[in-house]
A = this chain, B = another copy of it.
Amino acid sequence: MAPPSSGPPAGHNDHLVQSDNPDHPANLIPSLCAKFWTLGWVTGTGGGASIREDDLVYIAPSGVQKELMKPADIYVLSLAAQAQSLDRRNRVYLRSPPSYKPSQCTPLFLAAFTKRRAGCCIHTHSHWAVLVTLLLETQGAGKDREFRINNIEQIKGFGRGFEKTGNLGYHDTLVIPVIENTAHEEDLTEFLEEAMDKYPDTYAVLVRRHGVYVWGDNVHKAKTQCESLDYLFQLAVEMKRLNLPWITDIEPVTPRKS
C-alpha cells in the first residue's frame, strides 16, 4: 500500500535531523506529536504532522506511536526536487529513517506546502472532528458538506485567508469544507486540492469519518488554528447534544462611549 519511493542509503544526510535546537523541525515534530497524543489527536498511530522550512519538508513516518517518535525517525524531502518529478507519487527522500515506511499523508502535507505555501500541516483523528462529520451526514444528502459556525469568540483564532492579513472576527462565519474519505489516504489528495480550490481561504479540510487536516504559515499558526478548530468541534458536538444551533443571527453591539 505504501507508495514507491527511492532514497539515499541508510545514514545519508542524517545531519538533516540532528540539532540541539528544540525548535528544529526534527525535534519539534516529535515534541508536538507527543503533545497531540495527550489531546487524543493521534491515537494508535493515527494522524501526524509535517513542517516545511524553505525547500525542506520534514515528515513523521508511517505507523509509529506518535508520543514515542524520535528525531531519527523523520523523513526529509526537497520540495523543488519533488516538483520536478514527473510522477508525483515517486518521491525522492533526502533522508530516510532506517526501518520505517513513508507516511501516506505525505501528498496531503505537500498539497498544503505547494498550493498554500504553508509552513506546517497537522492531521488529527480527533473524535470531535469525526463526530462533526457524522452530524453533518444527518443534515442533508449531498456530498458538498460544510461545517459552519458563527458568533463564537474562538473563531478569532483563524486567519482571514490565504495571503490576506488579519483574522476572522467574532461575528464572521467559519466555514470548513468536508471531503469524502477514500480507501487509501493518498487518494484523498485530489479531493483536498479540489477543496482548496473551491475554498481558497480555508486553513482546514475535514475528512468524513476520518479527521481533519489543518495548516498555517508556520508551526505557531498551524498549531493554534488546529487547537482552535478542535475547540470549536468539541463545542459544536456539545451544542448539538444540548439542542443549540451552530449558526445564529446576533446584532453586533456598539459600546456607547468609545
Contacts and interface: CB of A to CB of B under 8 A. Distances in A.
A48 to B, nearest CB: 13
The copy count of this chain in the complex is 4
A226 B234 CA distance: 21
11 contacts: A1-B166, A44-B157, A44-B226, A46-B231, A65-B223, A125-B154, A131-B238, A170-B209, A181-B253, A182-B252, A182-B255
Nearest to A252: B183
B228 A44 contact: yes
Interface size bracket, A side:
35 or more
A231 B187 contact: no
B44 A225 contact: yes
Contact of A183 (B127, B171, B226): B171
A138 B252 CA distance: 19
Contact of A65 (B65, B190, B220): B220
A65 B224 contact: yes
Interface string A104-148: 000000000000000000000101001100110110000000000
